[in-house]
A = this chain, B = another copy of it.
Amino acid sequence: MRVTVIGSVALDTVETPYGKREDVLGGSASYASLSASFFAPVNLISVVGTDFPKKYLAAFRKRDIDVTGVETKEGKTFRWKARYPADLSHAETLATGLNVFTDFKPSIPPNISSKDSLLLANIDPELQDRIFRSVKPEGIVACDTMNLWIEREKKALTRLLKKVDLFLLNDAEARQFSGEENLMDAARHIASKGARMVVIKKGEHGSLFFSGGVCFVVPAYPLQAVKDPTGAGDTFAGGMMGYLSRRSKITDRDLRRSLVYGSILASFAVERFSVDGLLKTSPEKVNDRYRHFRSLTKF
Among A43-51, A57-65, A138-146, A201-209, the stretch that binds chain B is A201-209
Q: How far is the CA of A243 from the CA of B50 in the complex (A)?
A: 64
> Which chain B residues lie closer than 8 Å to A223 at the CB level?
182, 184
Given contacts A205-B205, A297-B216, contact A184 B222 (CB under 8 A): yes
> Which chain B residues lie closer than 8 Å to A295 at the CB level?
216
The answer to whether B253 and A217 touch across the interface, beta carbons within 8 angstroms, is no
> Which chain B residues lie closer than 8 Å to A205 at the CB level?
202, 205-206
A133 sits at the interface (CB 8 A): no
Q: How far is the CA of A177 from the CA of B86 in the complex (A)?
A: 17
Task: Give residues in A with beta carbon < 8 Å to B.
Answer: 86-88, 181-185, 188, 202, 205-206, 208, 215-219, 222-226, 253, 256-257, 259-260, 294-299
**A-B contacts, 6 listed (Cβ < 8 Å):** A182-B226, A184-B222, A206-B219, A217-B219, A218-B219, A256-B298
Task: Known A-B contacts: A218-B297, A256-B299. Give 5 more (CB < 8 A).
Answer: A182-B226, A184-B222, A185-B224, A218-B219, A257-B299
The answer to whether B217 and A222 touch across the interface, beta carbons within 8 angstroms, is yes
The answer to whether B215 and A296 touch across the interface, beta carbons within 8 angstroms, is yes
> Which chain B residues lie closer than 8 Å to A253 at the CB level?
299
> Which chain B residues lie closer than 8 Å to A208 at the CB level?
222
Give 4 nearest A-B pairs by CB, closest first: A256-B299, A205-B205, A184-B224, A217-B219
Across the two chains, which residue of chain B brings its CB closest to A292?
Answer: B215
> Which chain B residues lie closer than 8 Å to A88 at the CB level?
181
Q: How far is the CA of A257 from the CA of B298 in the complex (A)?
A: 9
> Which chain B residues lie closer than 8 Å to A224 at the CB level?
182, 184-185, 188
Across the two chains, which residue of chain B brings its CB closest to A184?
Answer: B224
> Which chain B residues lie closer than 8 Å to A183 at the CB level?
222
> Which chain B residues lie closer than 8 Å to A216 at the CB level?
295-297, 299
Q: How far is the CA of A223 from the CA of B180 in the complex (A)?
A: 13
For the complex formed, measure the closest distance between the CB of A18 and the CB atoms of chain B, giving whole angstroms: 11
For the complex formed, measure the closest distance between the CB of A13 and the CB atoms of chain B, giving whole angstroms: 23
Across the two chains, which residue of chain B brings its CB closest to A208?
Answer: B222
Across the two chains, which residue of chain B brings its CB closest to A88?
Answer: B181
For the complex formed, measure the closest distance between the CB of A75 and the CB atoms of chain B, giving whole angstroms: 40
For the complex formed, measure the closest distance between the CB of A221 and the CB atoms of chain B, giving whole angstroms: 8
For the complex formed, measure the closest distance between the CB of A199 and the CB atoms of chain B, giving whole angstroms: 13
Q: How far is the CA of A184 from the CA of B296 in the complex (A)?
A: 13
Q: How far is the CA of A253 from the CA of B183 in the complex (A)?
A: 30
Given contacts A205-B202, A222-B183, contact A297 B296 (CB under 8 A): no
Q: How far is the CA of A208 from the CA of B224 in the complex (A)?
A: 13
Q: How far is the CA of A217 from the CA of B223 in the complex (A)?
A: 12
